[in-house]
């Protein structure tokens, strides 16, 4: 079961769903550890501890010297459903 807490989709364990916008495996470092985002059904996502959400949302990335953009995002209910295999795209 998933709950929407102010735009943050959480699971029964209280973890928050976060998404990487490209369907590839990628890793992000947080204080005291790291998270790996795995693609499933074209959505690259993972569940993170609530205290790490703001840190991950503040990760920025740029390409070819361009403007730095937010790299990771909060996953939507639709993202979670697709990633978990509850619904199809």
What does the pLDDT look like over 26-46, one tens digit per residue?
Answer: 999 999 899 999 999 999 999
Evaluate whether residue 55 is within a structural domain.
Answer: yes
Cβ atoms of 16 and 82 closer than 8 Å: no
Q: What is the pTM of this model?
A: 0.86
Residue 58, classified by CB atoms within 10 Å of its CB into exposed (0-12), middle (13-18) or buried (19+), is exposed
Q: What is the pLDDT of residue 60?
A: 78
* Enclosing domain of residue 10: 3-84
Evaluate whether residue 89 is within a structural domain.
Answer: no
- Structural domains of the chain, count: 1
């Amino acid at each position: 079961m998933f709950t929407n807490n102010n735009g943050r989709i959480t699971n029964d364990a209280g973890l928050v769903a976060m998404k990487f916008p490209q369907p590839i495996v990628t890793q992000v470092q947080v204080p005291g550890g790291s998270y790996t985002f795995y693609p499933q059904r074209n959505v690259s996502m993972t569940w993170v501890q609530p205290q790490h959400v703001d840190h991950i949302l503040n990760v920025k990335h740029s390409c070819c010297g361009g403007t730095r953009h937010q790299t990771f995002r909060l996953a939507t209910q639709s993202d979670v459903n697709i990633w978990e295999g509850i619904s199809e795209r």
